[in-house]
């Protein structure tokens, strides 16, 4: 094949099908349906790189469960810069003040200050961080409470893999995202 020959159809990259990068890449492929072939002799290790960390939105994660923090961090690390993680509301307040993130991904049930109280305190202090709630609570009263304290998103942990990235994109644009399974009920 020649250096600039185009390939129609599947990509030459070997991405794991269950990764967000693969889903995003597939989405771009469906739009363009054309992929440039790498130059002859190019290594397959030359995968597309994530944008530099200076350009990526900064995110603070907050959840009382360490495993959830690790999972969310792994899911987001190629798209966003994780600047801190907290397991209680007081630590969230400190991190948001010191790190000035673009977005806070916040659980509702945490020790000390819960997520709703934390978001309310941030809002009352004039902090302009965008807040996205990530929770197990499938109750519309909690959705209303989250939105009333300035939340721009409400994602169910059960739908973390499918809903979190789109919710973050919407929140960063200033739009509201609610997990589709909640909107249906």
Q: Which of 52, 48, 59 is nearest to 81 (CA)?
A: 59
Report CA-CA distances (Å) from 166 to 120, 131, 154, 161, 169. 24, 14, 11, 10, 5
At 60 the pLDDT is: 98
Q: Where in the chain is the domain with CATH 3.40.50.2300?
A: 58-184
Residue 38 has pLDDT above 60, yes or no: no
CATH fold label, 58-184: Rossmann fold (3.40.50)
Helix-strand-coil percent breakdown of the chain, rounded to 5?
40, 20, 40
At 13 the pLDDT is: 35
Output the pTM of the full model. Answer: 0.71
Confidence of residue 52 (pLDDT cuts 50, 70, 90): low
Is 180 in a helix, a strand, or coil? Answer: helix
At 1 the pLDDT is: 41
1-31 confidence digits (pLDDT tens): 444 433 333 333 333 444 444 444 444 333 3
Name which residue leads in pLDDT, 12 or 52.
52
At 27 the pLDDT is: 43
């Amino acid at each position: 094949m020649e250096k600039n020959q185009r390939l129609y159809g599947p990509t030459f990259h070997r991405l794991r099908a269950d990764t967000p990068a693969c889903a995003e890449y597939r989405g771009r492929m469906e739009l363009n349906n054309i992929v440039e072939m790498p130059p002859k002799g190019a290594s397959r290790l030359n995968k597309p790189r994530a944008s530099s960390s200076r350009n990526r939105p900064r995110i603070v994660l907050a959840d009382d469960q360490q495993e959830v923090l690790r999972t969310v961090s792994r899911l987001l690390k190629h798209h966003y810069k994780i600047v801190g993680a907290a397991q209680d509301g007081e630590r969230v307040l400190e991190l948001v003040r010191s790190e000035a993130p673009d977005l806070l991904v916040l659980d509702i049930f945490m020790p000390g200050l819960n997520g709703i109280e934390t978001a309310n305190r941030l809002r009352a202090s004039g902090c302009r961080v965008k807040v996205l709630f990530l929770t197990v609570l499938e109750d519309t009263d909690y959705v209303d409470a989250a939105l009333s304290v300035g939340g721009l998103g409400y994602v169910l942990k059960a739908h973390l893999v499918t809903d979190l990235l789109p919710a973050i994109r919407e929140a960063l644009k200033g739009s509201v995202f609610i997990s589709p399974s909640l909107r249906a009920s």
